[in-house]
Amino acid sequence: MQASFDIVASNGSYGVSVAPGLLDALLAEGGERVFIVDEFLAAPLVTAGLNPIVVVADEPAKSLDRMTDVIVAMRDRRATRDTVLVAIGGGVVQDIAAFAASIYMRGIPWIYVPTTLLSMADSCIGGKSSINVGKYKNIVGTIHPPIRVIIDPVVSLTLNVEQKAAGLCEAVKICLCHGPSTLDAYLALRPGIDADAERLSEVIALTLRSKKWFIEVDEFDRSERLLLNFGHTFGHALEAATGFAVSHGIAVGLGMLAALHLGEALDPVQVAPLHIANFRNHVSELVASVDGLDSVLARVEVPALMDAFQSDKKHRRDLFAVIIVSGEGRVERRMLPRDEASSDLIAQSFAAMIADGLSVSQTRQPGSAGEVMRIKSF
């Protein structure tokens, strides 16, 4: 199956293609190109004599200081204003390439080939770059959309279980936000960490088409697109309170479970809608596949989560901005008074999230998820 569609944005439209085998086809194309690639995927490009710029994908790599090396490496490879920069990697390589392409000789075109499931199903569209400066993460950036996004899910098969689960947490979030029928269509594809490249192609295409709707209807993040922050305020608090021992996508998965609890407290119903029950089961399964999560959750404390939650920039001085699922099963943004009653409900939602996370990770069968990566300790 090959899916192709365009993303329409005010500063440039671009095509997205999803199918197994597209990376090999791209590498075989000619033209004036300079490659920048994640170290993990560099070998075939080096063997093919493409002389790629190789990046070790860690946070220091996407710092403003390191941009000098990237720009010099592009110039050493004789990049001109007509050169296309081809970036192959996850979000780190995406940020470096988008930023470098936006400033090199005042801007050159670039093609993006995402290689993590998270970047394939979520971050590859949007056109933003974010670069770290000193101790500040993602503090500077530009908006410079690629001219093409090429997604080859075969590339994602080498990711570890946690990275696959993290990508699917963001994917299912987008589908739920788009509406109950999109969530049903997503779940009907039976997505999971052991999905093959064909199945992943369908999951990614459905997810990106749903995200496209949000980007096009609300390009500047003012209304509908804010819903895509579902699970994120809770999730960011979990990342911060555990010193980033929980990866972003998994923290969002757990954050969505917290948000479901808050929604139930604000909008009590006798029985949750079926699609929400299915959503909760799927997210729980994804979270349960991460080895070692129970020991991290056993040590995290609700007051530390509350501190991090309260310092989120999305809140107003007198109001908490929360995204919840209503009694009818729709994702909604609500403003809650910043008082003791709201704080109690949020604290209870965090406590319920920890209990959920502990119960699902303790029921997992060790090794059942295939290759398992131990979560970082903190």
Ligand X SMILES: NC(=O)c1ccc[n+]([C@@H]2O[C@H](COP(=O)([O-])OP(=O)(O)OC[C@H]3O[C@@H](n4cnc5c(N)ncnc54)[C@H](O)[C@@H]3O)[C@@H](O)[C@H]2O)c1
Interacting residue ranges for ligand X, rule: CB under 6 A: 38, 40, 57, 62, 89-95, 115-116, 118-119, 123, 126, 128-130, 138, 155-156, 158-159
Indicate the residue among 38 and 356 with the shorter CB distance to ligand X. 38
Indicate the residue among 142 and 310 with the shorter CB distance to ligand X. 142
Indicate the residue among 112 and 234 with the shorter CB distance to ligand X. 112
Indicate the residue among 170 and 356 with the shorter CB distance to ligand X. 170
Minimum distance of ligand X from residue 328's CB (angstroms): 30
Indicate the residue among 248 and 261 with the shorter CB distance to ligand X. 248
CB 11 within 8 A of CB 127: yes
Spatial separation of the C-alpha atoms in residues 196 and 247, rounded to whole Å: 23
Minimum distance of ligand X from residue 98's CB (angstroms): 6
Token duo for residue 369: 């998820």
Minimum distance of ligand X from residue 273's CB (angstroms): 30
**Range 364-370 contact pairs with CB under 8 angstroms and sequence separation of 24 or more:** 364/288, 364/289, 364/291, 366/291, 369/161, 369/193, 369/194, 369/289, 369/291, 370/161, 370/193, 370/194
**Range 70-77 contact pairs with CB under 8 angstroms and sequence separation of 24 or more:** 70/36, 70/96, 70/100, 71/100, 71/103, 71/104, 74/34, 74/100, 74/104, 77/34, 77/51, 77/53
Minimum distance of ligand X from residue 156's CB (angstroms): 5
Minimum distance of ligand X from residue 38's CB (angstroms): 5
Indicate the residue among 63 and 326 with the shorter CB distance to ligand X. 63
Minimum distance of ligand X from residue 61's CB (angstroms): 9
Spatial separation of the C-alpha atoms in residues 197 and 278, rounded to whole Å: 23
31 secondary structure, DSSP code: S
β-sheet bridge partners, residue 37: 54, 88
Closest of 72, 62, 139 to residue 98, by C-alpha = 62
Minimum distance of ligand X from residue 15's CB (angstroms): 18
Indicate the residue among 88 and 354 with the shorter CB distance to ligand X. 88
CB-closest chain residue to ligand X = 91
Q: Coil, strand or helix: which one is 139?
A: strand
**Number of Cβ atoms within 10 Å of the Cβ of 265:** 15
